[in-house]
Amino acid sequence: MTMINATETVAFLDLAAMHTPLRDELTAAWNQVLTSSAFVGGEAVAEFEKQWTDYCGTAHCVGVANGTDSLELILTALGLGPGDEVIVPANTFVATAEAVVRVGATPVFVDVDPDTLLITPEYLWSAISARTRAVIVVHLYGQVAEMDLIMAAAEAAGIHVVEDAAQAHGATYNGIRAGAFGVAGSFSFYPGKNLGALGDAGAVVTNDPVLAGQVRSLANHGRGSHLLHTAVGRNSRLDGLQAAMLRIKLGHLDGWNRHRRAVHRVYMDAFAGTDVKTLATLDGGEPVHHLEVIRVPDRDRLIAGLTERGVETGIHYAHPCHKQPGFSRFDRHRLPVAETAADHQLSLPMHPALDLRQAEAVAELVLELL
């Protein structure tokens, strides 16, 4: 049996351990940007956009300032605003819903599947009204939602599918990467993401050249050309320094995701046949395990026990979006699965530098504390 010794801490996420082996490469790329002075836009941004487009299997990529702006820019470019409804799963980070409200549209929250905690084609279908213009499908925790049926339902209803892939860099469903299914995919490169910058960053991917051009213009003060502002835009551009860091880290993404899968297998093997409820994987899905979410009867007691033994945990999320005070005016229905999950879910340590024996020890400790 592997033990966590008294002085050891098991980090929820260890960015320093991921960056230390890359320090020389990152520093050299940083120095190169410093020499070129291309701090906003420039060669590193253009090169990263090309690489990310190729990686996702889409035709276009526009680097932006973060993964909330990327959603908002997509919705704006699609012409969404007051009077329009956008369907959003209640179990997501609040940024998904924030973007809808920021453009003046109304988020319509729907429940999630009890096994995957993702939006389903059925919940999407049940929420479509005459005002629905789009759904934001969130590939939460690193798993891609059931995109074949979701795309079919959205097509039948004549609404846009926007993908929030902030937690799903490299995840696939039937061999297609997150972000490449809908009219556009939105990514966050917040440092803790599977592909993270050394600060805030984000991107929009799409196969639609017109949409890509609109997003690029909106994110750059509505520019049609340097001196001509054809729309009222904003400033949400990707920094050259962040793009240079992302280029280097992208080379490691597949390896990191493979390690996350190995960690996930350790947890799954340990929890099989126990009271710990793990996330189910859809047939055809290849998740990237951004978070290792489990559900247990007494979440708070387990967190206290783990914390006492030096194991860091997180909660994603403690309140579904419709129960967040800032969004209470959009709280229309009971959403029992999301509401129950919020009371029971916790996230265990999961990162590419996590030793498999440590994951084994964490799992053993979870079972002991239960």
Ligand X SMILES: Cc1ncc(COP(=O)(O)O)c(C=O)c1O
The residue from 63, 170, 202, 240 that contacts ligand X (CB under 6 A) is: 202
The footprint of ligand X on residues 101-140 (CB under 6 A) is: 138
- The answer to whether 188 contacts ligand X (rule: CB under 6 A) is yes
Closest CB to ligand X among residues 13, 276: 13
Q: Minimal distance in Å, beta carbon 215 to ligand X?
A: 15
DSSP 325: G
Interface region with ligand X, contact rule CB under 6 A, candidates 27-35, 104-112, 164-172, 174-182:
164-172
The answer to whether 215 touches 233, Cβ cutoff 8 Å, is: no
- The answer to whether 55 contacts ligand X (rule: CB under 6 A) is no
- The answer to whether 145 contacts ligand X (rule: CB under 6 A) is no
Count Cβ neighbours within 10 Å for each residue of 193-220 and write b for 16 or more, e otherwise.
bbbbbbebbbbbbbbbeebbebbbbbbb
Number of residues that bind ligand X (CB under 6 A): 15
Q: In what order do the strands lie in the sheet with 176-177?
A: 176-177, 172-173, 285-286
Pattern of binders to ligand X over 11-50, x per CB under 6 A? ----------------------------------------
- H or E segment at 161? strand 160-164
Closest CB to ligand X among residues 80, 270: 80
Q: In what order do the strands lie in the sheet with 292-295?
A: 277-278, 292-295, 345-348
User: Who's near 5: CB < 8 A, 6+ residues apart?
Assistant: none
User: Rounded distance, CA 278 to CA 288, Å?
Assistant: 15
The answer to whether 248 touches 25, Cβ cutoff 8 Å, is: yes
The footprint of ligand X on residues 167-186 (CB under 6 A) is: 167
Pattern of binders to ligand X over 314-343, x per CB under 6 A? ------------------------------
Residue 270 to residues 345, 359, 366, Cα–Cα distance (Å): 17, 10, 10
- The answer to whether 242 contacts ligand X (rule: CB under 6 A) is no
Q: Minimal distance in Å, beta carbon 148 to ligand X?
A: 21
Q: Minimal distance in Å, beta carbon 138 to ligand X?
A: 5
- The answer to whether 90 contacts ligand X (rule: CB under 6 A) is no
- How many beta carbons lie within 10 A of that of residue 273, not counting itself? 6
Which residues make up the interface to ligand X (CB under 6 A)?
Answer: 66-68, 92-93, 95-96, 138, 164, 166-167, 188, 190, 200, 202
